[in-house]
Chains A and B, each alone.
Chain A
Amino acid sequence: MESRLIARGAEAEIYLERWMGILTILKRRVPKRYRNPDIDKKIRKRRTITEARIMIKSRRLGINVPRVLDIDLGEYTIRMEYIEGINLRDLAQTFNSWSECFREAGRAVGKLHRAGIIHGDLALTNFIVSDRGLFLIDFGLSCEIGSTLLDFKDHKRVVNVLARDINVFLRNLEANFGDKSALMFRSFLEGYREVVGERLEHSILREIRRIRSMARYAPRV
């Protein structure tokens, strides 16, 4: 079986492997020597389970995420389908016609949030534009906030966690694109609003401003 290490993240190694005739990604959570070994196993096991479960659930909800093909809790691995494409950062750096892609990204995040799923790491490189549409990847930091959003739209805590999720995206946009990021974020919000509605979008934007003002040494706004 061919296997090639294509990325080494903070907590996992990512291999590209041919498996049963198709190209797959194998994500292996590596042990951290600085952690107590028991805690380390517990953390890796729980994260592997959570990631796989949320990916499967997202897919069932009609959100484009790689298909989970296999899970091995003894090895702390998830095997998933390989999505060939270009990530949103590279795409926006290379092409000028990015607005529809950002709108689509907003829709995808909106669908996740509507289902009560927090992605946890909405970096631009975790959106893959392929010829099968836009895919969300890397659910390593994701979690569920229980039941669906629409049940408690104004719930403060829910708005807070959703806002934090989107704030990661916004900060990543700003870090990569500076002044241009405002326009990109506007397109993203258009798509997001289509899915979650204007009311929730407004409370989330207000919450993002509040979160930012709470950071140490942030200018008061």
Chain B
Amino acid sequence: MVIVIGIESTAHTFGIGVATDDGKILANVNETYTPPPGAGMHPREVAEHHVKVAGKVLRRALSEAEISIHDVDAVAFSQGPGLGPVLRVGATIARALAVRYGKPLVPVHHGVAHIEIAKLVTGLKDPLIVLISGGHTMVLAYSEGRYRVFGETLDISIGNCLDVFARELGLPMPGVPKVEELAGRGRRFVELPYTVVGQDLSYSGLLTRALQLLDKLRKGELKDLTIEDLCLSLVETAYYMLAEVTERALAATGKRELLITGGVARSRRLREIFQIIAEDFNTKLGIVSNEYAGDNGAMIAYTGALAYKYGITVPVEESVTRQRWRIDDVPVPWVEDLIRRKDI
């Protein structure tokens, strides 16, 4: 058994977790940067926030895990993808710990970590995976050493689409639950761009049209449409598109398990939709728990522990961050054994 400390620092959340390769989460401490309502995240400001909270988060994580930094076998960090300045904060701290305490450094792909933690908490082994977060919108499945992308967004992610709309409405982050709440009071559905191309989808046209309508609505040019109607139409259209590519992937791959992970997996409406899809396709559904849905340190620690056990480390001088690291470029040699293992 190995114990690994993991540092998450790709976007708004700075987190440190401690975990073992057999799936015990010993600590999960996270601090999230919140921009003022109506404003977005500036990478530099997020990075400054993370620098400020890092020491406190590290101390709390170690005390929660009841271990000393000397007890860990390796230091894992989210090497990418993410915002450059933010990635560098986590990487710098990880390198410092690795050098100071003589621990190996383990690079972790943020998206792979979302998948591994969700498989751990749901017990699914070889699912079709829907990865939905601020950065990713992808449908994937494991095959021959990698998570292969079956379909993905051609431009912005679903989280980004809804967050930007929420921001324009002046709603505070996180935007998705607030937009969904407004949508719940919507009555009229207007048709918005619905873009499914083969197995891929696109959210930029949908966002642009929704923002145009919002603008008109505010100028009083749309009499019979309310903000709530617009939220309803946007959310439902965005989710129907995701539902359709998921169904296409289920039909094509014949997978018997369906895993939903990433921050947007917290959406209540999406949970309803995926439950129906799972029933219709006679598929076992697993949705990541709320605690591990958003970005968190524990997922990096756990994935780092798996990777470290399979010999994946990186020398400090080669540990440069990877802003645009694609998930299907990441070797995941542990997955085969996890699929075969019976005890979890």
CA distance A218 to B324 in the complex (A): 6
B243 pairs with A216, CB closer than 8 A: no
**Identity of the chain A residue whose Cβ is nearest the Cβ of B204 in the assembled complex:** A214
Q: Contacts A36-B189, A39-B236: A168 and B200 contacting too (C-beta < 8 A)?
A: yes
A181 at the interface (CB under 8 A from B): no
Residues of the A chain whose Cβ atoms lie less than 8 Å from the Cβ of B1: none
Contacting residue for A39 out of B148, B189, B198, B277, CB 8 A? B189
Known: A10-B248, A34-B273, A175-B148. A121 touches B198 (CB 8 A): yes
Within 8 A of B (CB), among A101-126: 120-123
Chain A residues with CB under 8 Å of chain B are 8-11, 32-36, 38-39, 43, 120-123, 141, 164-165, 167-168, 171-172, 175, 211, 214-220
**Is B142 in contact with chain A by the CB < 8 A criterion?**
no
Residues from chain B with a CB closer than 8 A to the CB of A172 are 198
Which residues from A are CB-within-8-Å of B196? 120, 141
Which one of A34, A123, A141, A214 contacts B277 once the chains associate, using CB atoms below 8 Å?
A34
Which residue of B152, B236, B273, B325 is within 8 Å of A215 (Cβ)? B152
Q: Which residue of B lies closest to A12 (CB)?
A: B251
Contacts of B152 in A (CB 8 A): 215-216
Residues of chain A contacted by B247 (CB below 8 angstroms): 10-11
User: Contacts A10-B244, A34-B273, A36-B236; is A214 near B81 (CB within 8 Å)?
Assistant: no
Residue of A35, A122, A214, A219 with highest tally of chain B CB at under 10 A: A35
Residues of chain B at interface, number, CB under 8 A = 36
* Chain B residues whose C-beta falls within 8 Å of the C-beta of A43 in the assembled complex: 240
23 contacts between A and B (CB under 8 A): A8-B251, A9-B248, A34-B240, A34-B243, A35-B240, A36-B189, A39-B189, A39-B236, A43-B240, A122-B198, A141-B196, A164-B154, A167-B197, A171-B198, A214-B155, A215-B153, A215-B154, A216-B81, A216-B152, A216-B155, A216-B157, A218-B326, A219-B324
Of chain A, the residue at the smallest CB distance from B269 is A34
A157 to B201, CA, bound (A): 17
Chain B residues numbered 25-63 whose CB sits less than 8 Å from any CB in chain A: none
Residues of A within 8 A of B280 (CB): 33
Residues of chain A lying within 8 A (CB to CB) of residue B197:
120-121, 141, 164-165, 167-168
Q: Nearest residue in B to A40 (C-beta to C-beta)?
A: B240
Residue B263, interface by CB 8 Å: no
Closest to A165 in B: B197
Instruction: Indicate if the CB atoms of A219 and B326 lie closer than 8 Å.
Output: yes
Q: Is B272 an interface residue (CB 8 A)?
A: yes
Known A39-B236, A121-B198, A216-B136: A34·B326 in contact at CB below 8 Å: no
Cα distance, A35 to B250, chains bound together (Å) = 18
Could you tell me if A216 and B251 are in contact, using CB atoms closer than 8 angstroms? Answer: no
A216→B154 CA distance, assembly (Å): 7
Interface residues of B in 138-179 (CB under 8 A from A): 148, 152-157
B276:A215 contact, CB within 8 angstroms: no
Given known pairs A10-B251, A120-B198, the reply for A34 and B324 (CB within 8 Å) is no
Assuming A33-B276, A36-B236, is B324 touching A220 (CB within 8 A)?
yes
Please give, as numbers and ranges, the residues of chain A lying within 8 Å of B324 by CB-CB distance. 217-220
Say yes or no: B251 contacts A123, CB within 8 Å.
Answer: no
Determine if A32 and B243 form an interchain contact, defined as CB atoms under 8 angstroms apart.
Answer: yes
Q: Which of B205-246 contact A (CB under 8 A)?
A: 236, 239-240, 243-244
Per-position 1/0 for B45-89, Cβ under 8 A of A = 000000000000000000000000000000000001100000000
Could you say which residues of chain A place their CB within 8 Å of the CB of B286?
Answer: none
Most chain A beta-carbon contacts within 10 A, residue among B81, B199, B276: B199
Top 8 A-B pairs ranked by shortest CB distance? A168-B198, A10-B247, A10-B248, A34-B273, A34-B276, A217-B81, A217-B324, A33-B276
Nearest residue, chain B, Cβ from A214: B155
Residues of A within 8 A of B251 (CB): 8-10
Is B306 an interface residue, CB under 8 A from the partner? no
Question: A18 CB to closest chain B CB, in angstroms?
Answer: 25
Contact with A along B314-344 (1 / 0, CB 8 A): 0000000000111100000000000000000
Q: Closest CB of chain A to B252's CB: distance in Å?
A: 8
Chain B stretch 303-317: residues in CB contact (< 8 A) with chain A: none
A34 to B135, CA, bound (A): 25
Output the residue of A32, A121, A216 with the most chain B CB within 10 A. Answer: A216
In-complex Cβ contact of B153 among A34, A121, A216 (8 A): A216
CB distance from A45 to the nearest CB of B (A): 13
What's the Cα separation between A51 and B190 when bound, in Å?
22
Within B86-144, the residues touching A (CB, 8 Å) are 135-137
In the assembled complex, the CB of A50 is this many whole angstroms from the nearest CB of chain B, namely: 12
Which residues of chain B are near A220, meaning CB under 8 Å? 324
> CA separation between A214 and B324, bound complex, in Å?
11
Q: Which of A141, A165, A211, A217 has the most CB of B within 10 A?
A: A217
Nearest residue (CB) in B for A8 is B251
Q: Are A217 and B325 within 8 A (Cβ)? A: yes
